[in-house]
A and B are shown apart, each in its own frame.
Chain A
């Protein structure tokens, strides 16, 4: 299941704009890695490049290597669809499919991949919803539309949907930024449980959150507007927040800029 990611000299572009410059980073399995940094530093762009969602934006492209247990997801022979099946993603704003019920949302990935067996789908739905700590709240209304849930429940539904296809890695792009503190706590607890089975990479603007949930933290920064974002420092979360090796990191986490 959980696999390691090695990013090697990754450069990301939007058209002619060089968005991220030369990132090299290792993400160990069964571990939470947090990306922090000011707006526009490219942390979300790097995250999206890890399951080839970056290139979905017209004109966007990537150079360099991203190895999943040694296999380059950017090699020419690799189908991006199969990459995304292996590396799941949770977005900033909860985005359940509005035409589907709660259950159908959870099993959407399997159903649209051709799984028809009702019994198996029901089992997967229950397991994923339990995994996302949502089962108790929705078990009596699985047939109701996903859009009727609260924001925090919708986000956990999206996490359930992402883990239902049993990915090796889970990417989270500011998963709590649209949620209230109670729902945020629920998601953070969930991340703590999910890391037993998955490799997790999370982008967050909230440094306390990075300190709370992650084992490893990567700090990104940019020299100025129009300049590419860069990876400044990556280390154990404890070290980054207590004794970072660069001045920029220390300034950022202590709130002196950004």
Chain B
């Protein structure tokens, strides 16, 4: 018995779905190649820098003395010694800066988002913050020099460096905090008001904790950035081979400053010191970034 093919077995219309057209396949491939290529081009200098720094400086860093001693009493012909004095300087200047800048910046952001919305003062502040975030670090350093040394007659010091870094850090932290406060839903503020909680307490206990995880990340990234700034240390403090714990008096080394002055030592020992300091700075900044993401993960909002 043969089964006759009826009209019902044949599709009434040609299939509705088509293959991907050759033109689209080509464009897809082209875009993939371009995007991947751009990624590789961007990666080349990055990997190159890290490779060079590690290749030239790592051997110097893998030594306990490097982390515990200074170059105090050593000439450019003496190997050994370490950068403890410069690590201390970099961390101290960065942390002093953060202690001053972070509270100011967070309060500015709170004003902008919670109180100043659409007011003229808020607009002026936003405009100023925008300009401040575009100020080159050398300008901030020279401004501080004019204020601290020329006008007030105070000596160059690590604290002056911290103040210049404050100028660079405030706009970054204001910006990130402002964005984070804006994405805290208004429903949470209203829920809090409706419980009879005053506005300031709502901000301190509800709004800021909700945004805290992101604010910490922003602060750590900003801190990592200002610790690598070079212009302020060149202008506002002198290099010192010895350990100086006092931020208000005397010269104090920091890693960028150490690199800049050891650069002038034209022998293998000086070269190793510069690269070693470079590795150290990269490591410290990496640690701060990791610490930032760890802290933000610990303070992140949980649902489980």
Contact = CB atoms under 8 A, between A and B. Distances in A.
Interface of A: 51, 53, 56, 58, 81-86, 88-89, 91, 93, 95-99, 108-109, 112-113, 144-145, 147-148, 158, 161-162, 165
A56 B193 CA distance: 9
Given A145-B304, A148-B304, A81 B187 contact: no
B194 A99 contact: no
Interface string B103-121: 0000000000000011000
Interface of B: 117-118, 185, 187-198, 201, 205-206, 209-210, 212, 301-304
A91 B191 contact: yes
A158 B190 contact: no
B197 A113 contact: yes
A161 B196 CA distance: 12
A91 B301 contact: no
Which 4 A-B pairs have CB atoms at the shortest separation, nearest pair first?
A: A85-B196, A109-B195, A89-B194, A95-B187
B131 to A, nearest CB: 27
A85 to B, nearest CB: 3
Contact of A112 (B187, B189, B197): B197
10 contacts: A53-B193, A58-B117, A84-B195, A84-B196, A91-B190, A97-B192, A98-B210, A98-B303, A145-B304, A148-B302
Given A97-B188, A108-B195, A158-B191, 14 more contacts: A53-B190, A56-B190, A81-B196, A85-B195, A86-B196, A88-B194, A91-B191, A95-B185, A98-B188, A98-B210, A109-B197, A112-B205, A145-B303, A165-B196
Contacts of A82: 196
A99 B302 CA distance: 7
A191 B193 CA distance: 22
Given A99-B301, A145-B303, A81 B198 contact: yes
A70 to B, nearest CB: 21
A51 B205 CA distance: 22
Interface SS of B by simple majority: helix
Contacts of A97: 188, 191-192, 206, 210
Given A58-B117, A98-B210, A147 B194 contact: no
A51 B194 contact: yes
Contacts of B195: 84-85, 88, 108-109, 112, 161-162, 165
Contacts of B190: 53, 56, 91, 95
Contact of B303 (A56, A113, A147): A147
Contacts of B193: 53, 56, 81, 84
A93 B301 contact: no
A145 to B, nearest CB: 5
Contact of B187 (A51, A58, A93, A147): A93
A195 to B, nearest CB: 19
A147 B301 contact: yes
Nearest to A98: B301
Of the listed residues B193, B196, B197, the one surrounded by the most CB atoms of chain A closer than 10 A to its CB is: B196
Nearest to B187: A95
B304 to A, nearest CB: 5
Contacts of A112: 192, 195, 197, 201, 205
A93 B303 CA distance: 17
A89 B196 CA distance: 10
Contacts of A51: 194
A109 B185 contact: no
A20 B213 CA distance: 41
A112 B194 CA distance: 13
A178 to B, nearest CB: 11
Nearest to B204: A112
A68 to B, nearest CB: 14
A221 B194 CA distance: 26
Nearest to A149: B303
A158 B195 CA distance: 10
A74 to B, nearest CB: 16
Contact of A109 (B188, B196, B209, B302): B196
Nearest to A111: B205
B206 to A, nearest CB: 6
A210 B190 CA distance: 25
Contact of A99 (B189, B210, B304): B210
A85 B301 CA distance: 27
A148 B301 CA distance: 11
A99 B209 contact: yes
B122 to A, nearest CB: 12
A148 B303 CA distance: 4
A25 to B, nearest CB: 21
B97 to A, nearest CB: 28
A97 B193 CA distance: 12
Contacts of B196: 81-86, 109, 113, 165
Most B CB contacts (10 A, CB to CB) among A56, A84, A99, A113 go to A99
A98 B184 CA distance: 10
Contacts of B201: 112
Contact of B304 (A81, A93, A144, A161): A144
